[in-house]
């Protein structure tokens, strides 16, 4: 069921041109900038910098501008009193000495604007692309550049944890991480959500929607200020504390980084910063994403490379993130951006003129630099195309990512629940989807992410139980057949995905306990309501609701993996995928996984193939009462192997009882 190592060696030849371009860029960085270490620290020279004598240096790149001025609170919003000096290569600089009392001329928390005069005679008001903090007044739709230079900056107390052996990711959004109908804060996440994540056994948090985005409902994917942590959740210092506390709990934190495109906003975004159609982006149609209505970076531009690579260093250094989940990699890899392209796996789809070499080289540079400077840095690619060698080292001709998201798995679960009756589930097809990945390229498996929680779709819990979740989730009353089936399948789908689907596992916040509602941000279409832009963690805290049972199973599933380490083990050996019995059996990390997906059939003395001989005991049982099961298995039972070859393994055991899924025998679509 596992695909062979296709094209790992031949891809080096295929990628030789791109690798040559990558090496050329590294050489140019060495010659022109003294190496990538200095080049990627450009956030220390661009934007605004306070010197040791408290003078301020402002630096921008605006190649199409005729003149630049700085205005703000500090000069009474005078548009002409502080002109920038023009330098080579489209750069502009402004030096402002300290005040008479030796304090900086621009105080912490004061507002600023760059005034751009264009060759066409326009006067434009812009936010520095390097702005570290931007805020929006309640009655305004435009964000303001706020000078962030606190007198007592946050000092990190805890070292970064070591890279986990097995990656168990809790995908999170700070703003919705509260049961209350409002935008939740960094502090709320630190004090109320981090302890839950630790208890659940996740060792990694993937933070979404951190890079500032003017439109909340964009889920953070229309970035306006790339160096600014979103002010809607609090201050930069509060985000630093969140990450520091996570580190103290042994949890690493990844940033959902969006370098695939940028918001079209002009007054508070990168678009037309210097008045031109290009600057950071390609000009003309190549610079626009037709589906996302956003701008596309010119990855061959020297200053664009400076900006984006320094952006990665900024989040690693200033906030001490531990790595990145790169969004929209498919869009970056191809000139067609994946629009109208169905990827079948044919290699002609991955190599040719439709591949964007500039993007490939940028991603190779990003991964090479990150992994060279930070030994334990983790990078994950969101790619739906299946690009070969995406997760092979750069020196092999790969793009250098550590993991890719196994995006076909959640799609498969939704398809099954939408299109098939329970008795028609195809075990072989499920197993194929779980294991269909290139050998030697690690995948993050997940049953559902934020994509499946969005309004217009439904979570797995809702596909399984729908409106019954509102009336029948009390543990004080007997389960009806819908809830019984839904709870049992919810657990089994997750465990099968966890054990078989990849080398890492991901869950979107709240879905572990079967969050009862979809996700919809406040917008005009829902009267700006926050009702669905929240996570009802309070449901888990009520003893009498069955959400607590799903939470407990998710917790113990992660803790069991932490003990046995199947995610870090080689791919599973599948010994059974029986269509008639609806049984799947596989072995991974010396753990035997046995699933009976049959709706009505139980089995006595069911023979299961085993590799290593010895005594086996039940370590995790989805049918336990505490998990909303029926408690039908005796955990004191010991299973001894017999030297009887079965399903191509040297040993086997007899499982005394393999029960059907749920008590009520009604079949459901």
**CA separation for the pair 637, 117 (Å, rounded):** 80
Please, is 43 exposed, middle or buried when counting C-beta atoms within 10 Å of its C-beta (0-12, 13-18, 19+)? buried
Residue corresponding to tokens 């019984």: 484
Pairing of strands 111-118, 123-126: antiparallel
509 neighbors 172 (Cβ within 8 angstroms): yes
Could you tell me the sign of the dihedral formed by the alpha carbons of 328, 330, 335, 341, in that order? negative
Range list of β-strands (E), 238-355: 252-257, 288-289, 294-295, 323-326
Write phi, then psi, for 130 (nearest 5 degrees).
-100, 10
End-to-end CA distance of the chain: 28
Query: Are 573 and 586 within 8 A, CB to CB?
Result: yes
**Candidates 327, 484, 554, 556; catalytic one:** 327
Q: How far is CA 555 from CA 208, 280, 370, 603, 610, in A?
A: 22, 45, 32, 28, 27
DSSP state of 8: T
* Length, in residues, of the chain: 669
User: CB within 8 A of 343, min separation 6: which ones?
Assistant: 349, 384, 385, 386
SS (H, E, C) 33-78: HCCHHHHCCHHHCCEEEECCCCCEEEEEECCCEEEEEEEEHHHCCC
CA–CA separation, 522 and 533 (whole Å):
7
Please check whether residue 323 is in contact with residue 257, taking contact to mean a CB–CB distance below 8 angstroms. Answer: no
What are the distances in angstroms from CA 94 to CA 11, 519, 530? 48, 46, 43
Catalytic annotation on 138?
no
What does the DSSP 8-state code read for residue 193?
I
Output phi, psi for 152, to 5 deg. Answer: -130, 80
Contact 327, 260 (CB under 8 A): yes
Give the DSSP H or E segment for 498: helix 481-500
Residue-wise over 577-607: b if at least 16 C-beta within 10 A, else e? bbeebbbbbbbbbebbbbbbbbbebebeebb
Q: What angle do CA 602, 608, 614 make, to 5 degrees?
A: 130
Q: In degrees, to the nearest 5, what angle opens at C-alpha 225 toward C-alphas 223 and 231? A: 95
Dihedral angle sign, alpha carbons of residues 632, 638, 643, 649: positive
CA–CA separation, 325 and 204 (whole Å): 12
The helix-helix angle for 302-317 and 357-373 (nearest 10°) equals 30
Does 88 participate in catalysis according to the annotation? no
Q: Which of 18, 382, 441, 512 is catalytic?
A: 382
3-state SS, residue 123: strand
Give the C-alpha distances (Å, rounded to integers) separating 547 from 114, 468, 479, 501, 538. Answer: 51, 13, 13, 25, 10
The Cα 178–Cα 568 span in angstroms is 33
Name the DSSP letter for residue 560.
Answer: H
Q: List, by residue number, the catalytic residues.
A: 327, 382
């Amino acid at each position: 069921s596992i695909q062979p190592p296709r094209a790992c060696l031949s891809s080096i030849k295929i990628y030789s041109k791109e690798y040559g371009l990558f090496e050329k860029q590294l050489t140019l960085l060495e010659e022109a900038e003294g190496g990538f270490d200095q080049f990627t620290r450009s956030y220390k020279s661009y934007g605004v910098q306070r010197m040791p004598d408290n003078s301020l240096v402002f630096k921008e790149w605006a190649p199409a501008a005729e003149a630049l001025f700085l205005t703000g609170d500090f000069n009474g919003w005078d548009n002409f009193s502080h002109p920038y000096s023009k330098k080579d290569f489209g750069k502009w600089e402004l030096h402002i000495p300290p005040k008479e009392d030796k304090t900086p001329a621009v105080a912490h928390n004061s507002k600023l604007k760059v005034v751009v005069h264009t060759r066409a005679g326009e006067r434009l008001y812009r936010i520095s692309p390097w702005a570290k903090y931007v805020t929006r007044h309640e009655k305004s739709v435009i964000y303001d550049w706020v000078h962030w230079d606190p007198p007592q900056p946050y000092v990190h107390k805890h070292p970064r944890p070591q890279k986990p052996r097995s990656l168990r990711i809790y995908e999170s959004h700070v703003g919705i991480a509260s049961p209350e109908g409002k935008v939740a804060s960094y502090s709320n996440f630190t004090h109320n959500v981090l302890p839950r994540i630790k208890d659940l056994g996740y060792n990694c948090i993937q933070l979404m929607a951190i890079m500032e985005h003017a439109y909340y409902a964009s889920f953070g994917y229309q970035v306006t200020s790339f160096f600014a942590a979103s002010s809607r959740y609090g201050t930069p210092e509060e985000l630093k504390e969140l990450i520091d506390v996570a580190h103290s709990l042994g949890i690493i934190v990844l940033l959902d980084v969006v370098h695939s495109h940028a918001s079209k906003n002009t007054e508070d975004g990168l678009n037309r910063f210097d008045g031109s159609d290009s600057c950071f982006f390609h000009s003309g149609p190549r610079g626009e994403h037709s589906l996302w209505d956003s701008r596309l970076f010119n990855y061959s531009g020297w200053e664009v490379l400076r900006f984006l690579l320094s952006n990665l260093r900024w989040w690693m250094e200033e906030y001490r993130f531990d790595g990145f989940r790169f969004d929209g990699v498919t869009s970056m890899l191809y000139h067609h951006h994946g629009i109208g392209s169905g990827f079948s796996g044919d290699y002609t789809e991955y190599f040719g003129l439709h591949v964007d070499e500039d993007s490939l080289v940028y991603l190779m540079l990003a991964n090479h630099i990150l992994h060279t400077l930070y030994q334990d840095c983790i990078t994950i690619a969101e790619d739906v195309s299946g690009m070969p060698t995406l997760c092979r080292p750069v020196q092999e001709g790969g793009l250098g990512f550590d993991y890719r998201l196994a995006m076909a798995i959640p799609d498969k679960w939704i398809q099954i629940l939408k299109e098939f009756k329970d008795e028609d589930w195809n075990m072989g097809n499920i197993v194929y989807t779980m294991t269909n990945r290139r050998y030697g390229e690690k995948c993050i498996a997940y049953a559902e992410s934020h994509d499946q929680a969005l309004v217009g779709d439904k979570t797995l819990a809702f596909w399984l139980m729908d409106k019954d979740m509102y009336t029948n989730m009390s543990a004080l009353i007997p389960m009806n057949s819908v809830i019984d089936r839904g709870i049992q399948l919810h657990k089994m789908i997750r465990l099968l995905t966890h054990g078989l689907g990849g080398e890492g596992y991901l869950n979107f916040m709240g879905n572990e306990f079967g969050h009862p509602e979809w996700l919809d941000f406040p917008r005009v279409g829902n009267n700006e309501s926050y009702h669905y832009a929240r996570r009802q963690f309070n449901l888990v805290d009520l003893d009498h609701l069955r959400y607590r049972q799903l939470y407990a199973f998710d917790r113990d599933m992660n803790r069991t993996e932490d003990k046995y380490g199947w995610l870090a083990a080689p791919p599973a050996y599948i010994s059974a995928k029986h269509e008639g019995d609806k049984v799947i059996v596989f072995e991974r990390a010396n753990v035997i996984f046995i699933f009976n997906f049959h709706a009505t059939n139980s089995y006595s003395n069911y023979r299961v193939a085993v590799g290593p001989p010895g005594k086996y005991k039940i370590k995790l049982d989805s049918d336990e009462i505490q998990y909303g099961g029926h408690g039908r298995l005796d955990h004191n039972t010991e299973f001894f192997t017999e030297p009887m070859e079965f399903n191509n393994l040297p040993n086997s055991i007899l499982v005394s009882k393999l029960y059907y899924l749920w008590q009520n025998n009604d079949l459901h679509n």
